[in-house]
Amino acid sequence: MRPGGEGLLSLRTLWTRQAVEDDRLPSLRELFVSARIHPLAGQPAPASMLTDIAGLLAAYDELQPDPTQATQRVAFGTSGHRGCSLQGSFNRWHVLAISQAICDYRVAQGISGPLFIGADTHALSQPALDSALEVLAANGVQTMISAGGEFTPTPAISQAILVHNQGRSSGLADGIVITPSHNPPDSGGFKYNPTNGGPADSDITSWVQNRANALLEGGLREVKRMPLAQARQAANVQEYDYLGSYVRDLGNVIDFAPIRAAGLRLGVDPLGGAGVHYWARIAEQYGLDLDVVSEIIDPQFAFMSLDWDGQVRMDPSSSHAMQRLIGLKNGYDIAFACDTDYDRHGIVAPSVGLLPANHFLSVAIDYLFQHRPQWSATAAVGKTLVSSAMIDRVAARLGRPLLEVPVGFKWFAGGLFDGSLGFGGEESAGATFLRRDGRVWTTDKDGIALALLAAEMTAVSGRDPGELYQGLSDEFGAIYADRVDAPATPAQKKALGQLSPAQIESRELAGDAITQVLDKAPGNGAAIGGIKVISEGGWFAARPSGTEDIYKIYAESYRDEAHLQRIFGEAQQLVDAALE
């Protein structure tokens, strides 16, 4: 269990006790600092807290998962199957089974084109890539691996799929992304992207998950496999220049001319991730004044500062984890970073430092829909229902439809693919948008494009994204927002995910009338796996994480910080009651 995992009810106890002692409502963030935040959060990781890479890799090969144990079965969350080899949840057998299940799915669906596959810099990603190749080659799948063994960002795989499939009705491509995203160094992840280039929807992941577990239960007897050396030499395994293809095409997404003309000085911290070698090529291709502060690749990620819970986590939206990036604030006009597979972004502006993800999403939407004249006049704005209400206000002023969906980028893939969505973004700093001509770019999140968009916006407007957000606050009124995370067991996560409007008996939230209680997203009617309560003065949402053993409470107040803390307090009491 992570630090602070001694029980979820302690927060309500702390909150009540502190309110009595201090005669005030304490900030939940204050309580997390005292009761949850690791004492070394934001500091470099001591050697004793770094991952044992040799042990991790040995466990990948040697541990055989027991499919009778729920924690050792294949389980696709909001973004593929994730786990840890030391816990028997991400091992060779899992990858062999999932790879065969994907091959079987391709046959069932008549998918006959190439499969684009790539891996990030997590220690378990390369052995997982090797395991997948043994199966894909044996099944005769035309498999496109990165030229020269280069690491591959998630958006580069999505872009490759879509470029191949453009104008085709047969021989369509799909892909596999091997990454646990920003999760700690001991994590592994395996994700399938179908022919629309984005994360697979629930119907597909359920099919693949069920087939993979059946293969595990059968002792992998139905898995086709060939030795790795033979697989790498197979005629159906070919190299593909993901880096060159992506970088050459990026000029169709970002307007680089004003960035060059403004002479902006840009800084990037690659965070040792999959796009570590992309930045130098981008700078060369488009004539940018861009400093890459480090190209170190370290599977322990020892250069990171610890996240809130004492974990090494490459989360570009976390101020604890992004101490090195934040240190670039005064040296550049804009600085940025991406997480390990480069589908999330972190933006540092001189005016404010690290921008909250919702702030940057809001200004990005406001800018794009006013500076992309070739986009359809009916293209909508896509947001998850835990993203800021500022986005709603911006969309309304722009006269654009708003599509509000559950957490999970898969909900945006279809609209981005057909151009009915101009932008799709998540509160967790993941987003993408259309090409400048209004056609699809990627249907998975693209941290590189969002980082460079920050530079374009600054060059064109003469103001950095922090200043642009202040303009929105001046126009629409300030919004006070925060999110708190806490450890949760699988049983607690399940209980929270099953919250329903009937369990909300109160008619008020922090003194304001409740206007809506949602357990389904208004944009598509899909279950949100939690609850969202909306009042005249703000809202909160509570949901379990789909990728980690934590739960999250999101809240916004349209009034002030004290009101936000009242919303948090009432939200926490609701969560506590649900988990009793």
Both structure tokens of 260:
């060059």
Which candidate, 568, 375, 561, 346, places its Cα nearest to that of 450?
346
Helix (H) or strand (E) holding 115: strand 115-119
Q: How many CA atoms are closer than 13 Å to the CA of 300, on its beta-carbon side? A: 14
Which candidate, 554, 566, 552, 553, places its Cα nearest to that of 508?
566
Q: How far apart are the first and last CA of the chain?
A: 19
Q: CB–CB of 118/178 below 8 Å? A: yes
Could you give the 3-state DSSP secondary structure of residue 559?
A: coil
Both structure tokens of 536:
């005249």
**Alpha-carbon separation of residue 120 from 31, 117, 247, 290 (angstroms):** 35, 11, 17, 23
Q: CA 515 from chain center: how many Å?
A: 30
Q: CB–CB of 494/16 below 8 Å? A: no
The helix-helix angle for 10-22 and 28-35 (nearest 10°) equals: 110
Could you give the 3-state DSSP secondary structure of residue 432?
A: strand
Dist. CA 372–CA 380, nearest whole Å: 13
What is the DSSP pairing of strand 265-269 with strand 289-292? parallel
Active-site residue (options: 79, 85, 99, 181): 181
Q: How many CA atoms are closer than 13 Å to the CA of 21, on its beta-carbon side? A: 7
Helix (H) or strand (E) holding 551: strand 550-557
Which candidate, 426, 428, 393, 396, places its Cα nearest to that of 411?
426
Burial of 298 (0-12, 13-18, 19+ CB in 10 A): middle
Which DSSP letter does residue 70 get? G
Q: CB–CB of 272/297 below 8 Å? A: yes
Which candidate, 34, 38, 30, places its Cα nearest to that of 482?
30
Instruction: Write down the residue that tokens 């999140």 correspond to.
Output: 445
Both structure tokens of 221:
């007897």
Amino acid at 551: Y
Q: CB–CB of 50/155 below 8 Å? A: no
Give yes or no: 181 in active site: yes
What is the DSSP pairing of strand 430-433 with strand 115-119? unpaired
Both structure tokens of 493:
């996560």
**Alpha-carbon separation of residue 174 from 2, 111, 204, 218, 302 (angstroms):** 36, 8, 13, 27, 34
Which DSSP letter does residue 78 get? B
Dist. CA 551–CA 496, nearest whole Å: 8
Which candidate, 429, 391, 349, 354, places its Cα nearest to that of 523?
391
Q: CB–CB of 143/115 below 8 Å? A: yes
Name the residues annotated as catalytic.
181
